[in-house]
Structure 1
Amino acid sequence: WCLDGRGVLLRSLWDVRTDLAEGRLVQVLPDYRQDADIWAVHTSPLMSSAKVRVTVEFLRDYLALHPSPVNH
């Protein structure tokens, strides 16, 4: 939609980084910030699943080491 020149959108920088770098999108409000927390919501029995547990732990560790580039 925005890539067709039809308007403005609010997206995470990591989601549009390539389009910005290659000039397909232009950042129009660089000082505007919107919180976008990430939550891992699950039922208790689901957390006993190794796949779910490993995924949640990976995301927790990865995001701790790679904070958002817009958090100053």
Structure 2
Amino acid sequence: MYEVKDKLVRAFLRGMKQKLLLCMALVNDPEVLFLDEPTSGLDVESARLLREKVNQYNRNGKTVFLSTHNMEV
């Protein structure tokens, strides 16, 4: 995200906006995390990384509610 720190959010593509929203959701390290279609608009590598991070977050004792149409998540 650092490489786009000086850009306006409205100029971001959908995938970058999705990454920003995920960062905002995680910044305070919540005990409960609600994610609605978190991989929507993400490239394959970013979606894979997100799956890994969500699993790690859950293994660390956090609760994750996930709503998605993607059966691979």
Fold equivalence (TM over 0.5): no
Tell me which structure has the larger Cα radius of gyration.
1
Which structure features the higher share of strand residues? 2
Q: TM-score, normalised by structure 1?
A: 0.29
Q: Relative contact order (C-alpha < 8 Å, sep 6+): which is higher?
A: 2
Q: TM-score, normalised by structure 2?
A: 0.29
